[in-house]
Amino acid sequence: MLREEPEQLRKMADKFIKMGAKGVGIKCGIKGFYYRGGKDENLAWNNAEVFVNTFKEINSVVDTVGAGDNAIAGWMFFENLGYNPIDCARAAVAAGTLNAQHRGSIGAFRNGGEILSTMKLPVINYHPGRAFRMVKPGIYVGKAHGLAA
């Protein structure tokens, strides 16, 4: 990922937010997951911005078909359980990672516990750029946003 990409991610997310999305999640391959919340004062995650690195300890990439879909499903599952945007982004990365280690787009995991276990693994060392500050290893928030880990 290039250093300019965080700004490109922000621009893409803003386009969807202008079209009415309440928030936008983008799977960034091996680098991780980006989330930007909409500008809706009624939302708990109003204007939040998060980038979460992927995990170091993956067995091997077998098939990436469905990894992005599973990442979004992981996000939505944990969001519905009441998790914050940082943990939802970590769940998204975990679900996508688990999916990529198996052939096909289904069957890589059966429950949220498997995702939670994966979320405990160490993450790669990738800083998404100057617009973000690290709040924990592998977890970055947009400097312009007040989100805390």
Task: Judge whether 22 lies within some domain.
Answer: yes
> What pLDDT sits at residue 103?
82
Task: Judge whether 148 lies within some domain.
Answer: no
Task: Judge whether 137 lies within some domain.
Answer: yes
The stretches of 37-120 forming alpha helices (DSSP H) are 67-80, 85-100, 112-119
pLDDT in tens, 13-35: 999 999 999 889 998 888 889 99
Task: Judge whether 91 lies within some domain.
Answer: yes
Q: Which residues pair with 139 in a beta bridge?
A: 52, 136
pLDDT in tens, 83-140: 988 999 999 999 988 888 788 777 777 777 888 888 888 888 788 887 888 888 888 8
Report the CATH number at residue 120: 3.40.1190.20
Q: Which residues pair with 26 in a beta bridge?
A: 34
Interatomic CA distance for residues 75 and 61, integer angstroms: 21
Task: Judge whether 83 lies within some domain.
Answer: yes
Task: Judge whether 149 lies within some domain.
Answer: no
The stretches of 19-66 forming alpha helices (DSSP H) are none
> How many structural domains comprise the chain?
1
Q: Which domain holds residue 90?
A: 5-142
Task: Judge whether 147 lies within some domain.
Answer: no
